[in-house]
């Protein structure tokens, strides 16, 4: 696996854990927290690999 992919997944997971803790777990919504853990890393990976958002070489 490419290191940029691993880095993107780690950033997305960190965002999901922090955001999910304050938005979901403190309110007892475990299902939303799990969904956020799945969605955010994939979303960050999609955005980081999308050519429109990256600088052209």
Q: What is the pLDDT of residues 2-49, one digit of tens each?
A: 788 888 899 999 999 999 999 999 999 999 999 999 999 999 988 887
34-43 core/surface letters (b: 16 or more CB in 10 A; e: else) = eebeeebbee
Q: In angstroms, rounded to a whole number, what is the distance separating the alpha carbons of residues 26 and 4? A: 32
Q: Any idea where the domains of the chain sit in the sequence? A: 3-49
Band of residue 57 on the pLDDT scale cut at 50, 70, 90: low
Band of residue 54 on the pLDDT scale cut at 50, 70, 90: low
């Amino acid at each position: 696996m490419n290191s940029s992919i691993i880095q993107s997944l780690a950033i997305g997971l960190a965002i999901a854990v922090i955001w999910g803790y304050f938005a979901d777990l403190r309110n007892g919504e475990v299902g939303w927290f799990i969904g956020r853990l799945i969605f955010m890393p994939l979303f960050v990976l999609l955005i980081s690999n999308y050519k429109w958002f990256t600088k052209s070489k």
